[in-house]
Amino acid sequence: MPKDQTAPTAEDIATQMEILRADMSALTNAVSDLAKDRASVAKDRAIQVGEAARESARQQTQALADGAAQMTRQAEDAVRAQPLAATAVAAGLGFALGYLSNRR
């Protein structure tokens, strides 16, 4: 210690400790606030991604349903246009599936 400086007193050390505690508390609060902000941003982003995925799945499901409905209408139209041929095809498929299911 330099000669012109006096040794710190217990009161000086206690004061410095209080300042250090206050600084540590402020730093802890700042880090906590930063973590909360980042968590909030991550949560908001996850919600956006989830909503986008849900909307995409809804659109794909709707497209598949529309395609299935169109194929059903086409099949119904074909059966109405040629009922005898449709019955023959159905019977043929039934016999073929029955034959294949009984083979061992």
CA dihedral 34→36→38→42, nearest 10 degrees, is 180
CA dihedral 55→56→61→62, nearest 10 degrees, is 70
Q: What does the pLDDT look like over 3-19, one tens digit per residue?
A: 667 888 999 999 999 99
- The mean per-residue pLDDT over the stretch 44-52 comes to 96
- 17/8 Cα distance (integer angstroms): 13
On whether residue 32 sits in a domain, the answer given is: yes
On whether residue 70 sits in a domain, the answer given is: yes
On whether residue 7 sits in a domain, the answer given is: no
On whether residue 89 sits in a domain, the answer given is: yes
Q: Which domain holds residue 48?
A: 23-102
On whether residue 9 sits in a domain, the answer given is: no
On whether residue 66 sits in a domain, the answer given is: yes
Tally of structural domains, the chain = 1
| pTM attached to this predicted model | 0.52
On whether residue 12 sits in a domain, the answer given is: no
